A and B are shown apart, each in its own frame.
Chain A
Amino acid sequence: MVTLTINGREHELDVPDNMPLLWALRDVVGLRGTKFGCGIAECGACTVHLDGKATRACVTPVSAIQGRQVTTIEAMAEDAVGQRVQEAWLDLGVAQCGYCQGGQIMNATALLKETPAPGTQEIVDAMAGNLCRCGTYNRILAAIERAADKEASS
């Protein structure tokens, strides 16, 4: 048994210690906004926040995160920064297929929480680990800048 705190709620899970958080979220807890893309932390589709930091759930065993705060895309609508990021994503029509975008938003939100007004190169560097096969990178970049501007003016 492991006890995980996910989006502010405690979950007792009967899973092996080495199960990656990704599969615990998706198959056991039933939170499927966190996506499987590569399984080796190369694509970022599974990005969640662990104590506020962007973390790849596909390589994070549940045993390593007991007692820490896990936040997923499902909770971003209740997060002030997350909400701004989501709105910017919608305003600029970022998504094409949308599969990677939950992970992109989680990564972007973590960036803006740490660096509220990042420069363009800081954004590019911070987002380099999140793949988008549809090629929406420039809209992602523009949306992060838009959310950052709103953050600065709010």
Chain B
Amino acid sequence: MNRSDDTLLLANVSRRGLLKGLAGGTALLLAARWDLGLANEQAQFGAGAMPGGWVDNPNVFIHIDADGLVTIINNRAEMGQGIRTSLVMVAADELGADWDRVRAEQADADQDKYGNQNTDGSRSMRHWFDPMRRAAAAARLMLEQAAANQWDVPVHEVRADIHKVVHPATGREVGFGALAEAARELDVPGRDALVLKSDSELRFIGKESGLINGQLKSAYPKAIDGEDIVTGRAVFGADVDLEGTLYAVVARPPVYGAKVKRVDDSEALNVTGVRKVVRIEGAGQPAAFSPLGGVAVVATNTWAAMEGRRALKIEWDRAPAGDNADYTSDAYRESLEKAAQSPGKVIRQSGDVEAALDAADKRVSATYYMPHMAQAPMEPPVAVVMIREGKAEAWAPVQNPRATREGVAGLLEMDMEDVTVHQTLLGGGFGRKSKPDFVIEAAHVAREFEGQPVKLQWSREDDIQHAYFHAVSVDHLEAGLDADGKASSWRHRTLSPSIASLFAPDPKHKGEFELGMGFNTMPFSIPAIRLENPPAPAHVRIGWFRSVYNLPHAWAIQSFAHEMAVAAGKDHRDYVLDLLGPDREVHNLTVGDGWNYGEDPDLYPIDVARMRRVIERATEEAGWGRETGKGRGLGLAFHHSFVSYTAIVFDVEVDDEGKLTIHRADIAFDCGPQANPERIRSQMEGACVMGIGIALQSEVTFKDGVAQQDNFDTYLIPRMPNAPRVVRVHLIDNPNDAMGGVGEPGLPPVAPALCNAIFAATGKRIRRLPVGDQLSG
């Protein structure tokens, strides 16, 4: 933090009273359009129920210099979703700040001060939109009061304009900067005194700008970090520049749970620049956020550390890894496919599925496979840690600053107050950086070098071979259709190792928060439904990957619904609209989900009408039903996740050699109110590309417990030629529902929509991902 206290709109946390002169009537205005929400302590759902809850104190988040520069503190991790722009934009709009005089400053890890900072679950905007607006509205009131005091007029006679406060009666005006010092002396107004701007007064919130489906509407407001990024000045994890930095890389056990038996580091120590070799004790299994253990090589630069690591001779002890050392992907897939033939733990049941299947005129059955994947953010994990005089300081690109601070404090047996975690920009996260293992690893090494910063860098090989892998999955579905093709029964067995295996003895079954990602929340209206979860053991670290278990659930369910439509001889869109049944709001508890993404079921039911609307919009925009010609077809999929609704239609062509061309994607998205449509569009565009990689290319396989892919030449992700040239995003104008997530919901329907399109084009059904060379066979 580089601010000096005399330029701050200083903390005055007491809420002793309302600002003098504020009429009580304003609270009524407010109550009509704005739910104040429950205090954190009382909250069962939403932002208030998260660890640390929300904070809306303007003095925590908004600072104004004497020269008028407005600094908004951003408390969420920036990993490409644009939250540093979008959340700052929310505050700047409500405050009335001129965008060209606004900057962002990143909060350190401090949940008590800043509220919840765990950036996952597509929660940043939906949990912080209201608190940031309240903070900004309070700051605006304080500026107005300061101006009224200066002019000795009643506060209702003045109003904040853009970056200034004006007194219309006399034509006087004064800038925010000139008012900041006086404003900071005032009490923070109570929440019931705040009046949020009406939609017509807003300049940024909910307003379209930027590139809209290929057309530039407005290049303003520009992204907060845009200029730093294009000039190479932006500071990501590895770009932290500290005097006397040492550089470390780690050789980790090739199999999850294995340990170092013997190490010969004599040649490594002879490499020019290598300073020391440090053993890291792994925590064993389950690993949670602890390092895997291994041998660190510390040097005066990254290259020397890498050369030193190449020169290590390590003998690994695989015995502690148990049967992880036998883990082989083909055999594992076969074992899950076999297990899928038998009943499993019943998760949801209505009607008599077996009887309905027996009585069906036609039965449809299919098994779908999705492999392990690595998040592979372009910035591999990296962290800088310095330990000095009983205190630790870390600089790292982490999604979960609180867990990082706890993990470092735990390792070093320090109080949390003695550990500072500075948040850098993240060069992509996608769930990988929700796990702060790499920072704790850096702390392991840094404690050998009192007073010296240690930068611990993962290579791409480290990142892919030692990922917290997306769970491999088998989903087996069976449906019974009546003579008209209408579904009478639906049985779905889902099998995946659970993320819970990372933290506790392997439960071998998915947890509530995993099933609730599109499995039991499946909204089809079918008389007999049984959802089962047979066991599946974990043999590697399983972790969150953007949209998590929604990926396999949407892949299987959306592919299968298409197979049912084909079996029924019906149009896919008509068939699924019929499967959805009448418009209704489905309460999560009625489908056996006790989680609902942590949100209030009354505010966030599964709304079938909203699902229908995105399906209708995407198919209309794509020209559903049009004649496509030989080798070309349209494919649809849709999904509810992170309390938002997405539908995608792909238009693809496959030539006689099996070469796939994706001509176009039409994406309809409903997240309720939109804070920054420009970044919502970019998230949908990006999810489309990432999802194409999931469908076509990305797979990590294991042999004897060792990941068989290790860099971008073997672990394939989309390149520019793989992306469709036309990706159109259709945002549903829906300001009246509660705000939903944005970062993840675009991803789950991509793979099934693409494979459904491939079927429409070729008649070839894909049931095993990635598609790879299956089209040329």
Q: A residues bordering B, Cβ < 8 Å?
A: 15-16, 19-20, 23-24, 26-28, 30-40, 42-43, 45, 72-74, 76-77, 86, 89-93, 95-102, 105, 120, 124-125, 127-142
CA distance A120 to B725 in the complex (A): 10
Indicate whether A139 sits within 8 Å of B378 (C-beta atoms), given known contacts A23-B301, A86-B231, A91-B219: no
**Do A124 and B720 touch across chains, with their CB atoms under 8 A apart?**
yes
The answer on a CB contact under 8 Å between B303 and A93 is no
Rounded to whole angstroms, the CA-CA distance of A72 and B233 in the bound complex is 12
7 closest cross-chain pairs (CB), A and B: A33-B232, A135-B689, A99-B427, A97-B80, A96-B80, A98-B229, A73-B232
Q: Which of A72, A90, A129, A133 contacts B230 (CB 8 A)?
A: A90
Q: Are B232 and A97 in contact (CB under 8 A)?
A: no
By a CB distance below 8 angstroms, the chain B residues around A72 are 232
Is the beta-carbon distance between A133 and B428 smaller than 8 angstroms? Answer: yes
Partner of B682, one of A76, A102, A124, A136: A136
Enumerate 8 A-B pairs (CB-CB under 8 Å) in ascending A order.
Answer: A43-B712, A73-B232, A90-B222, A93-B223, A97-B425, A99-B377, A99-B427, A99-B428
Q: Which residues of B lie under 8 Å from residue A99 when comparing CB positions?
A: 236, 377-379, 427-428
Alpha-carbon distance A120/B302, docked complex (angstroms): 38
Q: Report B-chain residues with C-beta under 8 Å of the C-beta of A74.
A: 231-233
What A residues does B226 contact at CB under 8 A?
89-90, 93, 95
B720 touches A90 (CB 8 A): no
Residue contact B230 to A35, C-beta cutoff 8 Å: no
Within 8 A of A (CB), among B400-452: 425-430
A40 touches B713 (CB 8 A): yes
Contact status A138-B725, CB under 8 Å: yes
Q: CB-CB < 8 A to B272: which residues of A?
A: 16
* Contact residues in B for A90 (Cβ distance below 8 Å): 219, 222-223, 226-227, 230
Contacts of A105 in B (CB 8 A): 230
B616 at the interface (CB under 8 A from A): no
> Given A27-B302, A36-B457, A135-B689, 14 other A-B contacts at CB below 8 A?
A23-B302, A34-B232, A35-B427, A43-B378, A95-B223, A98-B80, A98-B427, A102-B232, A124-B721, A133-B717, A135-B686, A135-B723, A138-B725, A141-B720
B233 to chain A, nearest CB (A): 7
Contact assessment for B211 and A93 in the assembled complex, using a CB-CB cutoff below 8 Å? yes
B613 within 8 A of A: no
State A95–B378 Cα separation when bound (angstroms).
Answer: 13
By a CB distance below 8 angstroms, the chain A residues around B264 are: none
CA distance A36 to B678 in the complex (A): 29
Q: Which residues of the partner chain B approach A20 to less than 8 Å between Cβ atoms? A: 303
B605 interface contact, C-beta 8 A: no
B301 and A27 contacting across the interface, CB-CB below 8 Å = yes
Q: In whole Å, how far is A120's beta carbon from the nearest beta carbon of chain B? A: 7
Q: Kindly report which residue of chain A lies nearest to residue B240, judged by CB atoms.
A: A32
0/1 interface trace, chain B 698-731, chain A, CB 8 Å (1 if under): 0000000000000111000111110101010000
The verdict on A138 contacting B685 (CB below 8 Å), with A39-B460, A42-B713, A124-B720 known, is: yes
Interface centre among A76, A93, A132 (most CB of B within 10 A): A93
A19 to B718, CA, bound (A): 30
Task: Assess whether B303 is in contact with A19, with CB atoms less than 8 Å apart.
Answer: yes
Q: How close is A91's CB to chain B, nearest CB, in angstroms?
A: 4
Set of chain B residues within 8 Å of A132, measured between Cβ atoms: 378
The CA of A77 and the CA of B176, in the complex, are separated in Å by 32
Considering only CB atoms, which chain B residue lies closest to A87 in the complex?
Answer: B230
**Residue on A nearest B746 in the bound complex, by CB:** A135
B1 within 8 A of A: no
Q: Which residue of A lies closest to B299 (CB)?
A: A27
List of B residues within 8 angstroms of A77 by Cβ: 231
A137: chain B residues at CB < 8 Å are 689, 718-720, 723
Cβ contacts under 8 Å, A33 to chain B: 231-233
B679 cross-chain contacts in A, Cβ below 8 A: 93
Q: Find chain A residues with CB under 8 A from B232 CB.
A: 31-34, 72-74, 76, 102
A140 to B682, CA, bound (A): 12
Closest-CB distance, B275 to chain A (whole angstroms) = 14
Shortest CB distance B86–A (Å) = 12
CB nearest neighbor in A for B235: A32
- B81 is an interface residue with CB less than 8 A from chain A: yes
In the assembled complex, the Cα of A31 lies from the Cα of B233 at a distance in Å of 9
**Residue B225 at the chain A interface, CB threshold 8 Å:** yes
Chain B residue with the shortest CB-CB distance to A19: B303
- Roughly how many angstroms separate A24 CA and B300 CA in the complex, as a whole number? 12
Contact A133-B720, Cβ < 8 Å, known A101-B229, A142-B214:
no
Does B643 make an interface contact (CB < 8 A)? no
Whether, in the assembled complex, B238 has its beta carbon less than 8 Å from a beta carbon of chain A, the answer is: yes
Please give, as numbers and ranges, the residues of chain B lying within 8 Å of A39 by CB-CB distance: 459-461, 711
B38 within 8 A of A: no
Among B210, B231, B238, B426: residue with most chain A CB under 10 A: B231
Judge if B268 is at the interface, Cβ distance under 8 Å: no
Instruction: Provide the residues of chain A in CB contact with B690, threshold 8 Å.
Output: 133-135
Say whether B428 contacts A26, CB under 8 Å: no
Q: Is B635 an interface residue (CB 8 A)?
A: no
Docked pose: A42 CA to B460 CA in angstroms: 11
Which B216-272 residues have a C-beta within 8 angstroms of A? 216, 219, 222-223, 225-234, 236, 238-239, 241, 247, 272
Provide the bound-state CA to CA distance between A139 and B214, in Å.
8
Most buried by B among A20, A37, A86, A125: A37
Q: From residue B384, how far is it (CB to closest CB) to chain A in Å?
A: 12
Do A23 and B303 touch (CB < 8 A)? yes
Interchain CA distance A140-B80 in the complex, whole Å: 15
A101 to B234, CA, bound (A): 11
Q: Given the interface contacts A96-B686, A135-B690, does A91 sit within 8 Å of B378 by beta carbon?
A: no
- Chain B, residues 452-481, CB within 8 Å of chain A (1/0): the string is 000001011100000000000000000000
Cα(A76)–Cα(B79), bound, Å: 24
Which residues of A are found within 8 Å of B723, using beta-carbon distances?
135, 137-138
What residues on B are CB-neighbors of A102 within 8 Å? 229-230, 232
Q: Would A38 and B460 count as touching, CB distance under 8 A?
A: yes
Question: Within the assembled complex, what's the spacing in Å between the Cα atoms of A100 and B377?
Answer: 10
> A35 contacts which of B79, B228, B379 (Cβ < 8 Å)?
B379
| Chain B residues positioned under 8 Å from A134 (CB to CB) | 80, 378, 428, 686, 690
Q: Do residues A96 and B81 form an inter-chain contact, with CB atoms below 8 A?
A: yes
Residues of B within 8 A of A32 (CB): 232, 238-239, 241
A92: contacting residue among B216, B227, B430, CB under 8 A: B216
Q: Digitize B190-215: 1 where CB-to-A-CB distance is under 8 Å, 0 elsewhere.
A: 00000000000000000000110010
- B287 contact set on A, CB distance < 8 A: none
For the complex, give the distance between the alpha carbons of A133 and B223 in Å: 19
CB distance from B505 to the nearest CB of A (A): 33
- The verdict on B82 contacting chain A, using a C-beta distance below 8 Å, is yes
Whether, in the assembled complex, B688 has its beta carbon less than 8 Å from a beta carbon of chain A, the answer is yes
Residues of B within 8 A of A141 (CB): 720, 725
Interface centre among B216, B459, B685, B712 (most CB of A within 10 A): B712
Give Cα distance in the complex from A131 to B712, angstroms: 9
CB–CB B727/A138 < 8 A: yes
Q: Which residue of B lies closest to A76 (CB)?
A: B231
**In whole angstroms, how far apart are the Cα atoms of A20 and B301 in the complex?**
12
List chain A residues, Cβ under 8 A from B461.
39
**Most chain A CB within a 10 A radius of its CB, from B82, B222, B459, B685:** B685
A38 to B306, CA, bound (A): 13
The residue on B at minimum CB distance from A75 is B232
A59 to B327, CA, bound (A): 34
The answer, yes or no, to whether B671 is at the interface (CB within 8 Å) is no
Report the separation of the CA atoms of residues A98 and B239 in the bound assembly, to the nearest whole angstrom: 13
Give A36 to B459 CA distance when docked, in angstroms.
8
Min CB gap B92→A, angstroms = 17
Residue A133 contacts which of B210, B430, B682, B711 (CB distance < 8 angstroms)?
A: B430
